[in-house]
Chains A and B, each alone.
Chain A
Amino acid sequence: MALLIGSGFPNLDVFPTLLRKKTPKDPINETHASTILHTVFLYLVILPLLYLALSAIGWSDSWNIALSFSLGGVIHVLTESFDQKGRRLLYPVSKKFYGIRVLPYDFWTYLTDKKVLALEGGLFILAFLLLVF
Chain B
Amino acid sequence: MRVELRKWLRKNAGYVAIWIFMGLTLLALVIREIGVYTLVVIAPFLPPFVIAMVKMARELRKR
Report the contact-size class of chain A (Cβ under 8 Å from the partner). 20 to 34
CA A111 to CA B20, docked complex, whole Å: 11
Say which residue of B15, B29, B33, B55 sits within 8 Å of A111 (CB atoms).
B15
Inter-chain contact A108/B3, CB cutoff 8 Å: yes
Majority secondary structure of chain A interface residues (helix, strand, loop or mixed): helix
A-B contact count (CB 8 A): 57
- Which chain A residue has the least Cβ–Cβ distance from B25? A128
Majority secondary structure of chain B interface residues (helix, strand, loop or mixed): helix
Inter-chain contact A27/B51, CB cutoff 8 Å: no
Say which residue of B8, B16, B29, B44 sits within 8 Å of A8 (CB atoms).
B44
Contact (A131, B32) CB under 8 Å given A14-B48, A111-B19: yes
Inter-chain contact A18/B30, CB cutoff 8 Å: no
Q: Is there a chain B Cβ closer than 8 Å to A46's Cβ?
A: no
CA A4 to CA B52, docked complex, whole Å: 22
Q: Is there a chain A Cβ closer than 8 Å to B2's Cβ?
A: yes
Instruction: From A78-86, A94-102, A116-124, give the one contacting chain B.
Output: A116-124
Residues of A within 8 A of B41 (CB): 1, 4-5, 8
Report the contact-size class of chain B (Cβ under 8 Å from the partner). 20 to 34
Inter-chain contact A11/B45, CB cutoff 8 Å: yes
Say which residue of A8, A106, A131 sits within 8 Å of B45 (CB atoms).
A8
Inter-chain contact B29/A132, CB cutoff 8 Å: yes
Inter-chain contact B1/A128, CB cutoff 8 Å: no
Known: A12-B44, A108-B1. 6 other contacts (CB 8 A): A8-B44, A11-B48, A19-B51, A23-B1, A111-B19, A131-B32
Q: Can you show 12 pairs from A to B with CB atoms below 8 A apart?
A: A1-B34, A4-B30, A5-B40, A8-B41, A8-B44, A18-B55, A23-B1, A23-B2, A111-B15, A117-B15, A124-B25, A128-B25
